[in-house]
Structure 1
């Protein structure tokens, strides 16, 4: 029997609802950020059952989520940008930074698969198909020169929805990732109440503290040579599913 596969239904790019003067400025990296260049994108997903005894429209849900993402990116504007490099004059080095110019925004994908929530949660190990729920699976931070720094993929199951986020690890760490995800949820709930407010309860800190006077980090000239970037090649490991009751949490 042929195993189910993910079908991409539509894709687009989402830009911040409002662009401030600060959002038009480049963001430079610290030495620790540069060290994350060969690490994979952070990937986290949330699985929801479809609402029971309610009229649910996937089209309406997606439009609301896109609108909420646009509002959230007003605060997390670097996630709508791209990585870029500029060569230093009279040196063989490049500066790596977040460039807000010429970026189509964060990527948003709508996909579907002929599977149920039970199909994903029942096996002891995480089904390999779940990797296809993430747009930038196996991408590393260096790829942000070409790929979006944030990708949101919404996969419709037979009886559920999987919302997957892939975020460049040079731009955010784990805490910042969940800060963004929680802020997106906050804005989504606000939009459902027709508040139409763009404010969030805890705005992010965008500017990094950098010890160099210019705020620019020099990297070897090989930054523009993909062959010189170390790509992780870990051994294949099975991923195990753990179930926790609401009471135990």
Structure 2
């Protein structure tokens, strides 16, 4: 039996902003949305590139790449300075609060690793190889670990004919919108070869608190063991499915026609297909309640709206609910309409009520408590600019993620590499369920044949 491939770490260093801004000298406060994330995993997303022709027989290619990444990261951290800090907790007889301290930190981490595999070894297998999890720092870490480890790590893994750039960001500092805004600006600085003093989408670092409330100093804890747990994923297969823009358009047209409307979005239609298909292959009893949860950006839904460049967490869950019988007896349009109504029902008033309830009784998300093996969770968004991040190697071949937040029924959405409204879905299911999904006619007929680069 062959030994599994191993990623070898070659070096690591810490990177600080080019200089300490005035804002970085003050405590950076966490909001209710942020604090609720202390016990979940880091965000782990990355891009796989082919080595350009000029890298062949050029021993300086990787050292030069690392040097430029180091410099670009130091410039990006000037704008996103909280990512260079560490978490800190202050406890007194009457208070318990967590914040970001940028004064007592070595900075963000930059790692150089290597793996004796090819791009094809990563992308050709039907399932995502487990070695991909080693392309990311903070494996299995929870956000509270940011007290003693970096809040941001960039890992550069050199393959025989490619390079993977993996980014791990503490989820207590930001959501997917924040993550990709940072990644986009990091790439923009790298590509510009400029000073980094000006970027196209500077983050809004001013903290947002409900009803004008300020920092939270009274968390109801005396020790972090009271709210930290470590979720271990069950045995899963992780596979990408590609949906062309034509396929997505057909699903949207079908869902709207069946519901006699034109309001259902492309993503709601696709999510409805996934919800119905996974529910069907799970063979749930007809009276079993199931749900499809959609990660929802609160920024535009608040009144007044919060800037899309707001750096932090500002997400909630829109949830469509049905019994397995209802879901499968009705058509795609019916399922999509449940999701449309869930999204429309996600309002400023409802989110403020949830935040008010949290402030009265603060709680920290626990994956083992919120994980529902009978439902589907649609995470991330195909609207994020993910393939626009280039680091001197052209357009990435593929996107991949780490160990974080993987459970039965977790589906992560990405834009398709060819653009145009195409979507890739990263689906996580137990082996038996995945085999059944691969034989599900409705689902597989909607997917598209893909190249080796998916």
Normalization by structure 2: what TM-score? 0.51
Give the one of 63, 73, 78 matched to 1:74.
Answer: 78
Paired residue secondary structure (1:147): coil
Q: Using the alignment, how far apart are the partners of 1:71 and 1:180 within structure 2?
A: 12
Q: Which residue of 2 aligns with 1:122?
A: 124
**In the alignment, is residue 240 of structure 1 matched against residue 239 of structure 2?**
yes
Higher relative contact order (CA 8 A, sep 6+): 1
Q: Which residue of 2 aligns with 1:46?
A: 47
Contact 2:18 2:75 in 1 (8 A): yes
The correspondence of residues 75-154 of structure 1 with structure 2, limited to 5 A, is: 75-88=79-92, 90-91=93-94, 93-154=95-156
Superimposed CA distance per residue, residues 21-43 of structure 1 (whole angstroms, 9 cap, x where no aligned partner)? 11111111111211111111000
Residue 223 and residue 168 in structure 1: after superposition, are their counterparts in 2 closer, same or farther (change >3 A)?
farther
Paired residue secondary structure (1:67): helix
Q: Which residue of 1 aligns with 2:34?
A: 33
Q: After the TM superposition, which segments of 4 or more aligned residues of structure 1 sit over 6 Å from their partners?
A: none
Q: Using the alignment, how far apart are the partners of 1:224 and 1:168 within structure 2?
A: 17
Superimposed CA distance per residue, residues 165-212 of structure 1 (whole angstroms, 9 cap, x where no aligned partner)? 000101010000000000000000011xxx334211110011212247
Q: Using the alignment, how far apart are the partners of 2:55 and 2:101 within structure 1?
A: 43
Superimposed CA distance per residue, residues 105-130 of structure 1 (whole angstroms, 9 cap, x where no aligned partner)? 00110000000000000001110001
Q: Aligned-pair RMSD on alpha carbons?
A: 1.8
Q: Note the residue ranges of structure 1 that are not aligned, 5 or more in a row.
A: none
Normalization by structure 1: what TM-score? 0.91
Q: Using the alignment, how far apart are the partners of 1:220 and 1:242 within structure 2?
A: 43
Q: Using the alignment, how far apart are the partners of 2:27 and 2:139 within structure 1?
A: 26
Q: Using the alignment, how far apart are the partners of 2:172 and 2:151 within structure 1?
A: 9
Q: How many residue pairs end up in the alignment?
A: 243
**In the alignment, is residue 178 of structure 1 matched against residue 350 of structure 2?**
no
Higher helix share: 2
Residue 247 and residue 80 in structure 1: after superposition, are their counterparts in 2 closer, same or farther (change >3 A)?
closer
Greater C-alpha radius of gyration: 2
